[in-house]
Structure 1
Amino acid sequence: MRLWSLHPRYLDAAGLVACWREGLLARAVLAGATVGYRRHPQLDRFRGCADPVAAIDSYLRVVLAEAGRRGYRFDGSKIGPGDDALRLTVTDGQLACERAHLLGKLTRRAAACRDALADPKTVEPHPLFRIVPGPPEPWERR
């Protein structure tokens, strides 16, 4: 499961679809609707919220909007309204790690998408996150 802290605009088509599907899986886990992936460490940042399902819905709303901007038709009825005021934190080290990971994926499957990630200083997080100084998350594979 990969719930990107990067803005979904950086994802290629395969990455955006995977993000949507994995986000829906995360939603099911957080809602208690499935037994798989219950201990997945990326879910901890959502579990720390007062309403974890609203938090993942807020995350997925942005993915849904990006899909719509590209002309894809993801089913928005699968998620709730979310919480527009909610903000989580992500470290600059985590963003750098995810940027490098995504660059590797794009090199293999969608080289044309790499340009948006060329300058690490201009890479934006998913709007749910605000950047704070720090290292990558301990659960991140490096």
Structure 2
Amino acid sequence: MRLWSLHPSLLDRAALVAGWRETLLAQKVLAGGTRGYTHHPQLRRFRTQPAPLEAIGAYLGALQQEATVRGYRFDVTRILHPTTIGSIPSIPVTTGQLAYELEHLRRKVEGRAPEWLPRLPEEGVTPRAHPLLQVGPGDVEDWEVR
């Protein structure tokens, strides 16, 4: 499961589609709809929120908006608690986490969609974060599986 901290506009087609699918699974886990993945470390940042389902709903909403911009049709009715970003607290993310994820995405894109590489920020440039996230200084998050 990869719930990207990167802004959805940075994700290539495969990462955006997989991110949508995997976040829908995360939503199901948070809603108690499955016994699998209940201890997945990337869910920690949503579980610590005052309203986890609203937080994951806002996260999904941003993915759906990016998909719409690109002409894809992600079914917005699959979001259990549609929530607008700004109506709930931001989730913190570190610059180290964003840098780690950018390099992870870069390695994936090199193999499957090299034409997407020019859209990614250069090394050393802090990439934009998902709009639900608030960027602060720090190393790779402790929930990241390396």
Instruction: Please list every run of 5 or more consecutive structure 2 residues that lacks an aligned counterpart in the other structure.
Output: none
**Residue 104 (structure 1) shift:** 0.1
TM-score (norm 2): 0.93
Alignment of 1:51-90 (within 5 A): 51-79=51-79, 80-85=81-86, 86=88, 87-90=90-93
TM-score (norm 1): 0.95
Instruction: Please list every run of 5 or more consecutive structure 1 residues that lacks an aligned counterpart in the other structure.
Output: none
Match of 1:94 in 2: 97
Secondary structure of the 2:49 match is coil
Superposition CA RMSD, Å: 1.2
**Residue 116 (structure 1) shift:** 2.0
- Aligned sequence identity (%): 51
Secondary structure of the 1:62 match is helix
Give the number of equivalent residue pairs.
Answer: 142
Match of 2:34 in 1: 34
1:134 partner letter: G
1:20-64 CA distances to partner (integer Å, 9 max, x unpaired)?
000000000001111100000000000001110000000000000
**Residue 141 (structure 1) shift:** 3.4
Q: Which has the higher helix share?
A: 1
